[in-house]
Structure 1
Amino acid sequence: MTAHVYLLRHGQTEWSESGRHTGRTDVPLTDEGVQQARRAGAVLARLRGTDLPPALVLSSPRARAWRTAELAGLHAERTESLAEWDYGDYEGLTTPHIRETDPGWTVWTHPVPGGETHEQVAERAQAVVAQARAALAGGDVVLVGHGHFSRVLIATWLNLPPSEGVHFGLDPAGTTVLGDERGDPQVRRLNVPAWESDGV
């Protein structure tokens, strides 16, 4: 059986609902986020289609991520390598708010003052992808993290720069499946929603 990498974004938080950039801030899941995380566990089990435990399960150390992993029935090792993009001075701000002083700003196209550069995010993503690829020989890999950084991971898996993450939508508690087709990296499923527990 071919092993895959499963990316699970954390469930809903008040900040994710309002569009506030949430990097270092430890915002808890909402009640809906808790339910999403539980449903995501069922979705993940159906997508994997096996009772064998994953070879590797990693989670961002932020509570919204590791709590999602816990509620999804995963026993995850917490690692800063899966932390969200560091938004620096823009932490807690929405894109419209940021654009009041930085017109046209997006995390994909502009610098993040006081935060991580695109190059730093790329290096971190490359290290995570290398670790995941190495672990695939032993079975599935599950990575529980955040919206922007998980989208960078998808781009990195496909040998694309971080800015290409803009093309991959990932909702709260959405699951993405990464694999290969005859050696070529592939997105096998993208953003499978946490409510889709039947017919996955």
Structure 2
Amino acid sequence: MTIYLIRHGQSEFNALNLEPGAPDPMIIDARLTDLGKQQALAAREQIQDLGIQTVLASPLTRAIQTAKLIFDGIAPIQVTPAHRERLDHACDIGRAPAELASDFPELTFDHLDDIWWHTGPQNKYGVPEEPVEMFDQRIQKFRDSLVQHTNRPLAIVGHGNTFRSLAGFDMQNCEVRPFPVP
């Protein structure tokens, strides 16, 4: 059965529409904008007849918010860090599981490490950039793990760079796209 990829709604970072090379605005774990919330509610209408049984959401707040707006009352949401965004801006720095649990008490975060996002050498803004090769390896490992998720149709709520690495295509905010994998 099909897996559906869903990119998160417009985030505070996306709304800035920065030019390549622009300074990092230092928005930690960017949230959805009002437009992003509207996009998620529109996507909720699109998925009604897909029969989605399980949802995997990245632990970044914008992905969790998107998953909840689309799937609350429809399918259970599991937060999994393997398909988080490649960290190269402050908006991709996560928050501790206790903070996430405070904001989303109906979800489980106790399986996450205190620091579940990439750590390592920092760029000029103090952001630990995840090397592209490391990111691609992580996403390939996540792709390989998808065969274990037999409760399908499955939805994955995640990020632009993740889906580009995973599936080879770009996605718009809250686009719902089938992804046939074994």
The two structures have a TM-score, normalised by structure 1, of 0.61
Displacement of 1:75 in angstroms is 2.7
Displacement of 1:170 in angstroms is 0.9
Q: CA RMSD in A?
A: 2.5
Displacement of 1:23 in angstroms is 10
Residue number among 132, 135, 139 corresponding to 2:146 in the alignment: 132
Residue number among 12, 18, 32 corresponding to 2:10 in the alignment: 12
Distance 1:140 1:37 in 2: 19
- Do the aligned residues in 1 keep the contact of 2:160 with 2:171 (CA within 8 Å)? yes
Runs (4+) of structure 1 moved beyond 6 Å? 21-24
% identical aligned pairs: 27
Please list every run of 5 or more consecutive structure 1 residues that lacks an aligned counterpart in the other structure.
93-111, 156-167, 184-200
Name the structure 2 match of 1:70. 68
Q: How many residues align?
A: 140
- Do the aligned residues in 2 keep the contact of 1:12 with 1:30 (CA within 8 Å)? yes
Name the structure 1 match of 2:110. none
Change in CA separation of 1:125 and 1:115 when aligned onto 2, cut-off 3 Å: same
Change in CA separation of 1:69 and 1:29 when aligned onto 2, cut-off 3 Å: same
- Name the SS for the 2:4 alignment partner: strand
Kindly indicate whether residue 134 of structure 2 is the aligned counterpart of residue 120 of structure 1. Answer: yes
Kindly indicate whether residue 26 of structure 2 is the aligned counterpart of residue 28 of structure 1. Answer: no
Say which structure is richer in strand: 1
Change in CA separation of 1:22 and 1:179 when aligned onto 2, cut-off 3 Å: farther
Displacement of 1:72 in angstroms is 0.1
Distance 1:179 1:22 in 2: 36
Matches within 5 A, 1:85-96: 85-87=86-88, 90-91=89-90
- Do the aligned residues in 1 keep the contact of 2:3 with 2:152 (CA within 8 Å)? no
Opposite residue 55 of structure 2, the aligned amino acid is V
Distance 1:78 1:24 in 2: 21
Change in CA separation of 1:150 and 1:142 when aligned onto 2, cut-off 3 Å: same
